């Protein structure tokens, strides 16, 4: 949930240009710090993003758009992996809970 909220809040604002100043855009970019680590964003991608995110969407060139698309793809892929892991763990927890209840019933 925290992952999704951070991505929506920070990446969404950057992608849509929903910030008033370059400093606000940089703050959103900084807010993605751990997320960038998790998706394996290389130094070169981070450098390109730092330039692209402070531009209004109408001022972005094709390369800026590609950089943001790449980050969006990586974030979406990571979100899918995390969602799958969460579902797996929830199923395991439910199975363990059922085992505990069955064991308690035999006591």
- Give the pTM: 0.79
* CA dist 41 → 13, 71, 75 (Å): 19, 8, 10
Residue 75 DSSP SS3: helix
Q: Could you tell me the CA-to-CA distances from 47 to 41, 53, 97, 100 in Å, in that order? A: 10, 10, 47, 51
The per-residue pLDDT for range 27-72, each reduced to its tens digit, is: 999 999 888 999 999 999 999 999 999 999 999 999 999 999 999 9
Which whole-number Å values give the CA distances from 98 to 72, 87, 95, 102, 105, in the listed order? 39, 17, 5, 6, 11
């Amino acid at each position: 949930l925290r992952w999704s909220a951070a991505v929506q809040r920070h990446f969404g604002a950057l992608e849509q240009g929903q910030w008033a100043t370059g400093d606000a855009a940089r703050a959103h970019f900084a807010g993605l710090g751990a997320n960038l680590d998790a998706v394996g964003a290389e130094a070169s991608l981070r450098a390109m993003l730092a330039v692209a995110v402070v531009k209004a969407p109408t001022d972005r060139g094709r390369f800026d758009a590609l950089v943001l698309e790449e980050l969006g793809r990586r974030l979406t892929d990571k979100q899918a992996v995390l969602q799958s892991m969460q579902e797996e763990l929830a199923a395991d927890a439910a199975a363990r809970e059922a085992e505990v209840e069955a064991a308690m019933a035999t006591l």
